Amino acid sequence: MDPISQVNPVLDALRKQLAENIERLRKAGKLGGAGRAEQPRGAAEGLESVLRRRLSPLDRRSAEGLAAATRTFVEAVLVAEFGQGLVSDPAFGDMLADLSASLREDAEMREQLDRMLAAL
């Protein structure tokens, strides 16, 4: 893997290109100028605060509890990123189950998740 540092000039150049391409798509009519409600990105309550509140009732000592906590974590993160509207989507549950299960199937990811969940 090549860790990409925050001051990586290659990534900076790609970001510039990305912004130009988005503008080009916008001018070509591929992007509308309005229509969708603003995404509630960066909600007033910080992510860690949300996670502590939502995880506190969960028993994280068993495998089942850690799996449930992982699902709660993924849900909170995705809602913070993409908006509260996801919660009302009937397919979101399947998506959460798939994402959290696949993350826990990987030993390295599971270890990091458990370490993070224990710290919250």
Partner 1 sequence: MSDAAPQDAAPEASLWERFAAGDAEARGQLIERYLPLCRMIAASIYGKRVADDAEFADYMQYATLGLIEAVENFDWKRGVQFNTFATYRIQGAIRNNIANFSERREQIGLVVRLKKERLESIKLAAEAQPARRGKSTGLVRDMAEVAVIWALSYLLEGSGMLAPRAEPHYVEQFYDSLELRQLRDRLVGLVDALPDQERRVVKYHYFQNLEFTEIAKIFGVTKGRISQIHKRALVLLREAHAIAGGLDLRL
The residues binding partner 1 (CB under 8 A) are: 1-6, 11, 14-15, 17-22, 24-26, 29-39, 41-42, 46-49, 51, 73-74, 77-78, 80-83, 85-86, 88-92, 95, 98-99, 102-103, 106, 108-109, 112-113, 115-116, 119-120
Cβ of residue 12: shortest distance to partner 1, in angstroms?
Answer: 10
User: Do the beta carbons of residue 49 and residue 80 sit within 8 Å?
Assistant: no
CA separation for the pair 21, 100 (Å, rounded): 33
Nearer to partner 1, 66 or 113 (CB): 113
6-7-8-10 Cα dihedral, nearest 10 degrees: 110
